[in-house]
Structure 1
Amino acid sequence: MNNEKRRNHFLCEALHDIKELQDVMKDFHSKYFGQLLVKIVGSDTIPFFLITHDGTHLKLMDTIKQFETEFFRIEAIDREHCRGTVSLLRAYDYEGHDTNLIADVVRLERTSTKKSIELCGISAIQLLKPDMLKGKFIIEPKW
């Protein structure tokens, strides 16, 4: 297996694992505690960004809501063709404005926009904290 195929194989497997974890969080139901796992984690989404071969983050555009993002949620993975379907996560800064600067992101919001991507142009996956979907943050006083 050459390096490109091996890398694509690992990316497909990693995204498949993320999808399975999301499904466990979403579908786990206890007869006594309901959806306790989602309540503990705070979300059924594992957010991530994708790094391309040239070292930049993959950015996709939502043409209807007019925003660009580099934050995603895996919705489906085609391991045979090494393609993924992602939903776009909209990133907001402290003031509620769109941002793609990871240092400024305080909240990620799931959207209904889905895009299909070929993983042959992707080198790496970087997971983010699911807490970013809760939108809770504490501002400590300066003095």
Structure 2
Amino acid sequence: MENRCKNCLSEALCDLIALQDLISNYQSKYYGQYLVEIIGGDTIPLLLITNKCAPLRLLDKTMQLETMFFRIESIDKECCCVTVTLLRAYDYEGHHTNSIVDVVRLERTTTERTIELCGIVAIQPLSPDLLKRNIIIEPKW
């Protein structure tokens, strides 16, 4: 059963990678890379849910970043591993946040991590709109 779950997760992750590749590499004869402009980027953000039913959180000490938001970069089906890029989350005031309810924008970082899929039980894709939102703070008065 565990191997079947790993295969399902691998297939689902491969689908997400294929969608990201389609978005970033699609070139229309008449409209060029209009698909990237419509979507606003080449990333489908996601959460990885652990076997404890909680989002996986990773830490980058050099960037002082803890996050549970990721972009898939590659998958190794042989080793059941996935390489992800960490996404930095911001709230309405432009501060970093780790609370999913406060997130209004995600920003791609340069930090990549490789994760074994044996501890992952589910994938939750998020809206790509989170990557293109601008945070506008209006004065109260």
TM-score by length of 1: 0.92
SS of the residue corresponding to residue 112 of structure 1 reads strand
The aligned counterpart of 2:120 is: 122
Residue identity opposite 1:33 in structure 2:
Y
Alignment of 1:38-57 (within 5 A): 38-57=36-55
Deviation at 1:30, TM superposition (A): 1.8
The aligned counterpart of 1:16 is: 14
5+ residue gaps, structure 1: none
Corresponding residue to 2:77 among 59, 76, 79: 79
Deviation at 1:60, TM superposition (A): 0.5
Q: Give the 3 Å change call, closer, same or farther, for CA 39–78 of structure 1 in structure 2.
A: same
List structure 1 segments (4+ residues) > 3 angstroms apart after TM superposition: 136-140
SS of the residue corresponding to residue 101 of structure 2 reads coil
TM-score by length of 2: 0.93
Contact 1:89 1:111 in 2 (8 A): yes
Alignment of 1:1-143 (within 5 A): 3-136=1-134
Residue identity (%): 60
5+ residue gaps, structure 2: none
May I ask how many residue pairs the two structures share in their alignment? 140
Q: Deviations over 1:51-75 (max 9, x none)?
A: 1001111000112111100000000
Two-structure CA RMSD over aligned residues (Å): 1.8
Contact 1:74 1:87 in 2 (8 A): yes
- CA distance in 2 between partners of 1:68 and 1:4 (Å): 29
Q: Deviations over 1:8-61 (max 9, x none)?
A: 111111111100110010001123211111111111100000110011110001
SS of the residue corresponding to residue 15 of structure 2 reads helix
Deviation at 1:139, TM superposition (A): 7.9
